[in-house]
Every structure is written in C-alpha cells, then in structure tokens.
Amino acid sequence: MLYFFLIRALLGAILSSVSLALFSPFVTLRRVSYLGEALSHIAFAGIAIAFVLGLHTQAVTLVFVMAVALAIGRLSQKYKLEEANTITIFLSVSMALGIILISLRKVYTFDLASYLFGNVLMVSTSDLIVLGVLCLLSLGFIIFFFKELFYLSYNFEMAGFYRVPVSLVNHLFLAMLAANIVINLKAAGIILVSAQLILPASTAFNLSRKLPSMIAVSAIVAAVAAVGGFAMSWWLDLPTGAAIVVLEFILFLISLLLRPKQ
C-alpha cells in the first residue's frame, strides 16, 4: 500500500515537472516567463471562485485561467499594450479578487499553503491520469506545431508576415500553457509552478544549441530533478515541490559551469 502510494506520488512528481519543462523553452525564448508566473497567480482567483461557489476547483480554475490567458493574448495584440504591464495588472487584481472572495466565506477552511506550494502526496490516481494525458497532449502539441512555434518564438511579426498562422498557434499555446499550469497546481503549487517553467529551459540553454535538443534536455533535467527531489524529500523529510525546484536550480548552476565558452 505504501509502495503504491509512493510510486503514484513519484510518477506525479515526474509527470508534473516534465509537462512544465516541455513548455519552458518556448516560455523562455518568447520572453514570456512572467506570463507563467502571472497565470499561476491568476489561478488563485479561479480557485477562490470555485471555493466560494462550491464548484469543482480544477474545472473552474481551468476555464478561468484559459479565459484570462486568451484575454491577455487578445488585449495585448489588439491594443498593442506592453504585455508585461497587462499581465502584472491581471496578476495583482486576480490575487486581490481571490483574497476578497475567500474572506467572504466566513468559515475559514481554506488551505492556502497547499495552493501556494502544492503537494505531490495529494495526487490521486485520477489526477495522475490527467497529468499523463496532459503530458502526452503537450508533447503532441509541441511536435505537431514545432515549425510554427519555432518561428513564432523567433519573431512574431515576421512569422505572421510569412503567413505562419501566428494568432491561431499563439492562442493554442496560451490555452495549453494555462492547462499545464492549472493541472500542475495540485502537485507543484502556485509559486513552484512558475519556477519549473523557467529553470529547466535555462539549464538546457547552457547545454544545447538546437531547439529540439533544448526541449529534450529540459524534460530530462526536470525528470532527474523530480526523481532526485522526491528521494530527498523522502529521506530528509522535506516538502517535495520545494526539493525539486532546489535541485533544478542546482542543475542550472552546474550547467553554467559546463556551458561552452563563447
């Protein structure tokens, strides 16, 4: 029983880290790492809405974050807003909204810490299946739209000029990213999700020069950190998500040393 429980949590940690890592090269290259951070915070308002209305947390949050992600994409494209500013506004307003909503519910049964930091030990079998499907979908999305994502990340305007369907692919990208963030909240938490969207790619950038191998290295780094972090948390009795992020950071530092000299 304990064995089953452990394996399930370990698989949860690996799938969670890897699915985020698959997106991290694009998030980093497109310089939208703050978007990952913002969406994970925006999820907080979604969680609060579900909590107040007594609805299914993940479903409500997923719809809410996807809607906001698409709205951000829309708004900044249409009004040529500085994306970073739009996003920061959405981020803080969502947090404020979430806190207000939760405070309206007088009985305080809300476990804030578990949403901030997540807990892989809470991952159920059905969560694991969802994570697995998400991982496959993410991988399929990246492989199928590789050419489009590549040029979109290189230069959005020129890709659009040469008739890459940038708007369609960008919206799909935002929707997939939102899904990744929301589904990973349970395992990784609001704060650690954004770390896992940046660190694996930063490491991969130091080790690789081609985008496909960067994506592969990101995923491997994330899987290694997940296994290592899980083991560390088991033996040293540390919170798993935090251990994974710390390990990813250590791998990043090592990659800095291994980076080929320019």
Partner 1 sequence: MIRIEDLNYYIAGNPILEDIQLEITDQEFVAIIGPNGAGKSTLIKLILGLLPLQDGKIWIDDIPHLEWLSAHPMGYLPQREEYDRRFPANALDIVMLGLAAETKLGRSFTSQQRERGIEAMHTTGCIDQAFKPIGGLSGGEMQRVLLARAIVGGSKYLILDEPESSVDQPGVQDFFALLKELNMQGRTIITVSHDLHTVSAYCNFIVCLNRRLHCHNQAEMVNAELIQKTFGKAVRLIDKGY
| Contact call for residue 5 and partner 1 (CB under 8 A) | no
Instruction: In whole angstroms, give the CA distance from residue 147 to residue 156.
Output: 13
Q: State the DSSP code for 110.
A: -
| Contact call for residue 38 and partner 1 (CB under 8 A) | no
Q: 77, 40 in Cβ contact below 8 A?
A: no
Q: Which stretch binds partner 1 (CB under 8 A): 56-64, 138-146, 183-191, 237-245?
A: 138-146
Q: What minimum distance in Å lies between the beta carbon of 234 and partner 1?
A: 36
| Contact call for residue 146 and partner 1 (CB under 8 A) | yes
Q: What DSSP line would sit under 125-190, residue for residue?
A: HHHHHHHHHHHHHHHHHHHHTHHHHHHHHH-HHHHHHTT--HHHHHHHHHHHHHHHHHHHHHHHHH
Q: Which stretch binds partner 1 (CB under 8 A): 70-78, 119-127, 141-149, 173-181?
A: 141-149
- Which position among 56, 59, 133, 144 is part of the footprint of partner 1 (CB under 8 A)? 144
- Which position among 78, 80, 106, 210 is part of the footprint of partner 1 (CB under 8 A)? 210
Instruction: In whole angstroms, give the CA distance from residue 221 to residue 200.
Output: 6
| Contact call for residue 211 and partner 1 (CB under 8 A) | yes
Q: Toward partner 1, which CB reaches closer, 103 or 213?
A: 213
List binders of partner 1 among 149-178 (CB under 8 A).
150-151, 153-155, 157-159, 161-165
Instruction: In whole angstroms, give the CA distance from residue 112 to residue 102.
Output: 10
How far, in Å, are 90, 107, 114, 116, 206 from residue 104 at the CA level? Answer: 21, 9, 20, 20, 47
Q: What minimum distance in Å lies between the beta carbon of 174 and partner 1?
A: 17
Q: What minimum distance in Å lies between the beta carbon of 164 and partner 1?
A: 5
Q: Toward partner 1, which CB reaches closer, 64 or 205?
A: 205
List binders of partner 1 among 180-209 (CB under 8 A).
205, 208-209
Instruction: In whole angstroms, give the CA distance from residue 125 to residue 123.
Output: 7
Q: What minimum distance in Å lies between the beta carbon of 151 and partner 1?
A: 5
How far, in Å, are 23, 219, 239 from residue 128 at the CA level? Answer: 19, 18, 19
Instruction: In whole angstroms, give the CA distance from residue 154 to residue 53.
Output: 42
Q: What minimum distance in Å lies between the beta carbon of 176 and partner 1?
A: 15
List binders of partner 1 among 13-32 (CB under 8 A).
29, 31
Strand, helix or coil at 156? helix
Q: What minimum distance in Å lies between the beta carbon of 143 and partner 1?
A: 9
Interface positions with partner 1 (CB under 8 A)? 29, 31, 144-148, 150-151, 153-155, 157-159, 161-165, 205, 208-211, 214
